[in-house]
Amino acid sequence: MIVQEAELDPKYQALWKKALISAERKNWDYVIDQVLPIVTANVGFLDGRKLLRSAEGEVAGSGKKFSFGLGGFKPSSKKEPVETIADMEENVFRKDPFNLNANEQLFDLAMKLQFPELASFALETIRGGHPENTKNMHKLAQHYMAVGLPEKAAATYNAILKVNPRDMEATQGEKNAAAQGSIKNQGWGSSNFKDAMKNSSEAIDLEMESRQGMTQDQMDQALEKAINLYNADQTNIAVVKRMSDLYERLGHLETALMFYDYALTLNTGDVALQRKVEILRDKVQDQKIADYEREIETDPDAPDIDDKRAQLAEIRRQRASVVISEAKTRVDRNPTDKALRYELGQAYFNAGMFGEALPELQQAKSSPNLRIKAILMLGRCFERKNMNDLAKTSFMDASKELLVMDATKKEVLYELANVLEKMGDKAGSLDALKEIYNADYGYKDVAKRVESSYS
């Protein structure tokens, strides 16, 4: 996907030559003006993007405090990745080239385009602007491993160890990368290995392991075995998917996502794998949100607290936008699937779009398997819209259909109690809470609310 200078349109070649002369003279503003239109029109012209970012960094100055948000810029989920990247170049990077959130988004967009070189560039840019950010360097090293550049991965792990010599994950990562680099330099052929593997038990072992429960030690051993197989043949999709699965089960979600993304480049038509990538990407975003929430709650007076809050808000907005877009696409492909309708309704609800959620959830409740979940979320939508009488009806209907006091019924009764309290029906609210109290004394704040009513 990389575009060379000779492949550019002649008008852009002329601009590029002017930009190089301007760079020699250190006229960085001119460089930006001349290169920006080239890279916005040619997403694959990586040499131009590198020069552009360098010039933007010179103009911004090393003393500038780079931000975490997107500076008011809101990328449209309706645009194609190439268009979004062009918009970001003009509206974000020109003023803030090392913007953490924007470069992370550029990485995600590059992976969607199956353009690993651009993805590497995005993370390297963060590294240039935030040299102490070891979390980003871990992501960069894992990306280099996933795309078969172990030497660069090893160098990145070494850079992490200079910042934090006690980083055990970086120490192990550097060893793995060095081992893979050694194997690569010895020139082991992948075709011979694949032929040998067909006649061995390795593929059977991997399949057997994936079907049985394993302890963490067993998963660590299985991962080590999978890494050795991957080191010998990086194009074997069964091994790549196995590594992805193990990283996910061990809780290394970002690493798992990188390898799943890489597996998708090996088999672009795998619909199930595409869905897996979407689900895992959501999990990674959820983890980021949880991390930021924890950091904000732990240290609300931190110097960078405003940046963290802005980035958290932006991640949530992006998360909701992507989830809704993907859910709508799945519904459009199969509009009669009630489970997909429920997922879309849930996505709308999580984004605060309660009116849009209602028709999807109303369709979903016709499915026997989803009925209670859909009614519960319908009640929550009504409550958020302050339509409390309709919320009350939904929660009461769900409660009547649930004959066993399980976790779902407790949740329904708790929501019913809250709505009745909002409506001024304190007696009805207390009755709902007492039902829970009789079955589960420790459920949320039920005991406190019930017992305080007697004092």
The CATH number of the domain holding residue 432 is 1.25.40.10
**194 confidence band (pLDDT: 50, 70, 90):** very low
Calpha distance 178→18 (Å, rounded): 41
- Same-domain pairing of 4 and 126: yes
- Same-domain pairing of 7 and 107: yes
Q: Range with the lowest mean pLDDT among 55-64, 82-91, 261-270, 375-384?
A: 55-64
List helix spans (H) across 299-353. 305-333, 338-350
> In 3D, which of 353, 388, 391, 386 has the Cα closest to residue 375?
391
Q: Range with the lowest mean pLDDT among 171-175, 325-329, 392-396?
A: 171-175
Structural domains of the chain, count: 3
Buried b (16+ CB within 10 A) or exposed e, 93-108: bbbbbbbbbbbbbbbb
**455 confidence band (pLDDT: 50, 70, 90):** confident
Q: Range with the lowest mean pLDDT among 203-217, 246-260, 277-291?
A: 203-217
Q: Kindly state the percentage of the chain with pLDDT values over 70.
A: 89
Residue after which a domain boundary falls, among 131, 160, 186: 131
Give the structural domain span for 375.
Answer: 348-452
Q: Which two tokens stand for residue 91?
A: 């509206």
- Same-domain pairing of 46 and 122: yes
Choose from 73-87, 107-121, 264-278, 309-323 the range with maximum mean pLDDT: 107-121
In a domain, 402, yes or no: yes
- Residue 413 pLDDT greater than 90, yes or no: yes
Q: Which two tokens stand for residue 170?
A: 């970086």
- Same-domain pairing of 31 and 89: yes
Contact assessment for residue 127 and residue 137, using Cβ atoms and an 8 Å cutoff: yes
Rounded mean pLDDT of 195-215?
50
Residue after which a domain boundary falls, among 333, 359, 380: 333
Calpha distance 179→32 (Å, rounded): 41
Rounded mean pLDDT of 86-113?
90
- Same-domain pairing of 376 and 438: yes
Residue 255 confidence (pLDDT): 85
- Same-domain pairing of 356 and 437: yes
Calpha distance 145→124 (Å, rounded): 15
Residue 179 confidence (pLDDT): 67
- 233: region left, alpha or beta (phi > 0 left; psi from -120 to 50 alpha): beta
Calpha distance 397→420 (Å, rounded): 14
Buried b (16+ CB within 10 A) or exposed e, 197-217: beeeebbeebeebeeeeeeee
Residue in the block written with tokens 């990368």: 177
Calpha distance 180→215 (Å, rounded): 26
- Residue 242 pLDDT greater than 80, yes or no: yes
Residue 213 confidence (pLDDT): 60
- Residue 418 pLDDT greater than 70, yes or no: yes
- Residue 130 pLDDT greater than 80, yes or no: yes
Residue after which a domain boundary falls, among 131, 152, 176: 131
> In 3D, which of 386, 358, 450 has the Cα closest to residue 413?
450
- Same-domain pairing of 297 and 378: no
Q: Which two tokens stand for residue 80?
A: 């194609």
> In 3D, which of 248, 228, 245, 147 has the Cα closest to residue 183?
228
Calpha distance 49→32 (Å, rounded): 10
- For the segment 37-81, what is each residue's pLDDT rounded down to a tens digit? 999 999 999 999 999 999 998 888 744 444 555 555 555 556 788
